Every structure is written in structure tokens, then in C-alpha cells.
């Protein structure tokens, strides 16, 4: 059982460019001409709506200068911006476990284990996706899976400006707030170090199932 997932950091990139890149790379993974890869990126401030999102979850108080995108992932509305690590795994689940629920739970576990290395006790909430510290969400997820190849992924609030979340009902959840590693730990965190820890734990969690023959 060995991992063959590559890790690539795209740096700071506007959402549209990253989205177009994802769609192109996703097609190439389906065709077998690109390897399974986890991409890290930080976006300029943006609100994104999943395919089943309620547009009323964008509030009147939202910053009018923040761009809005309607995308093909699952989930409701969320925010991406500087200081937030966004992970886009584009991998063929035929090589791992062909289960959407397994994939989502494994992404959550990677975030939980990463936060544990900072003595942050994060958990999942029954009936909800993502990762929580108490009643505040620190990690969000929204994915698209086509022909068992994934795209979109997760977002971890590290040094994120949380005031942007005041303009939305994050993930359509009224009763809970959001938090960040900076807020919990009381100081800004080293994003490069956190990406390295995420990458290591991601590769530990996703192991090639060598008994599966991908045609």
C-alpha cells in the first residue's frame, strides 16, 4: 500500500483562474494523463455558492466588492480569502475507495489530525459536514465527483479575516459561527508549516488500493 498523490502549491490565485485550472486538470486525470494531485491555494476574497445553495444566505451586509461565483460543488455558500488554506484534491477514487461518504469523512479526519498537532481539539458534528471546534466551524468542505474523480475540496481557516463571514450564513447554518487557528491560538500561524503537515497527513490517509485495477 503506497501513496502516489503529488502535492503542488499554487500560491495566491484568483478564484476564476483556479476554477478553470481545476476543470482542465480534472479532465486530464479522468483521461489518465495526469497523476492524482492535491493542490493548495489561497484565494483573493470571494463568495462561492454550491449547486444547491440558497441565494438568501448572502446577506445585505456582504461586502459588495467581493466577487461571487456559482460553482458545481455541493454545499451552500462559503467564503475564501487570504489566510485560509484551500485544498483541491483531484484524485481518482477508483484507486482508493469508491464511496462519497468515505471520501468526505477522510477529508475531515485529515483536518482534525492536522489541528491536533497544534493542540486544537476539533471534531465533526452529526448531520453536518466539515470540522468544528466547539460550536464554531474551522474547516469546510464542498466537492464534486465525476466518474469517481474528485475536484473542489476543503478550506481551513488559519489566519482568515473572519469578518467576511458576517456577510453570509456560512454553509447555510444559522445557529453556529466560524473560527480560525489564529483566533484560537491567539497569534498568526505559519501557513507553509501547516500546508506541510496537511500534505503529510493527507498522504497517510489516502493510500493506493493496489488490488484495484483502474481501466
pLDDT at 1: 42
Residue 137 bridge partners (DSSP): 132, 178
pLDDT band, residue 208 (cuts 50/70/90): low
Q: What is the DSSP track for 93-159?
A: GGGS---HHHHHHHHHHHHHHHHHTTT---B--TT--SEEETTEEEEEEEEEEETTEEEEEEEEESS
Active-site residue flag, 171: yes
Query: Under a CB-based contact definition with an 8 Å cutoff, are residues 106 and 206 in contact?
Result: yes
pLDDT at 170: 73
pLDDT at 95: 93
Query: Under a CB-based contact definition with an 8 Å cutoff, are residues 181 and 26 in contact?
Result: no
Per-domain boundaries in the chain: 6-205
Q: Which entry of 18, 171, 178, 198 is annotated as an active-site residue?
A: 171
pLDDT one-digit tens code per residue, 38-55: 999 999 999 999 988 888
Nearest C-alpha neighbor of 66 from the set 186, 168, 195, 207: 168
Query: Cα torsion for 110, 163, 127, 196, to the nearest 10°?
Result: 0
pLDDT at 78: 92
Rounded mean pLDDT of 172-181?
84
- Superfamily of domain 6-205 in CATH is Bira Bifunctional Protein; Domain 2 (3.30.930.10)
Query: Under a CB-based contact definition with an 8 Å cutoff, are residues 8 and 2 in contact?
Result: no
Amino acid at each position: 500500500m503506497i501513496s502516489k498523490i503529488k502535492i503542488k502549491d499554487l500560491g495566491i490565485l484568483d478564484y476564476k483562474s483556479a476554477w478553470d485550472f481545476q476543470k482542465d486538470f480534472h479532465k486530464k486525470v479522468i483521461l489518465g494523463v495526469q497523476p492524482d494531485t492535491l493542490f493548495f491555494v489561497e484565494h483573493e476574497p470571494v463568495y462561492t455558492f454550491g449547486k444547491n445553495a440558497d441565494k438568501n444566505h448572502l446577506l445585505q451586509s456582504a461586502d459588495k466588492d467581493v466577487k461571487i461565483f456559482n460553482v458545481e460543488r455541493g454545499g451552500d455558500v462559503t467564503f475564501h480569502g487570504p489566510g485560509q488554506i484551500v485544498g483541491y484534491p483531484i484524485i481518482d477514487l477508483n484507486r482508493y475507495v469508491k464511496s462519497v461518504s468515505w471520501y468526505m469523512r477522510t477529508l475531515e479526519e485529515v483536518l482534525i489530525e492536522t489541528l491536533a498537532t497544534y493542540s486544537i481539539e476539533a471534531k465533526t458534528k452529526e448531520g453536518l459536514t466539515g470540522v468544528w471546534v466547539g460550536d464554531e466551524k474551522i474547516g469546510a468542505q464542498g466537492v464534486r465527483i465525476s466518474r469517481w474523480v474528485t475536484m473542489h475540496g476543503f478550506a481551513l481557516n488559519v489566519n482568515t479575516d473572519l469578518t467576511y463571514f458576517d456577510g453570509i450564513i456560512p454553509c447555510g447554518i444559522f445557529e453556529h459561527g466560524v473560527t480560525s487557528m489564529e483566533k484560537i491560538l491567539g497569534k498568526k500561524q505559519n501557513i507553509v508549516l501547516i500546508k506541510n503537515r496537511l500534505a503529510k497527513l493527507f498522504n497517510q490517509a489516502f493510500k493506493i488500493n493496489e488490488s484495484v485495477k483502474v481501466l
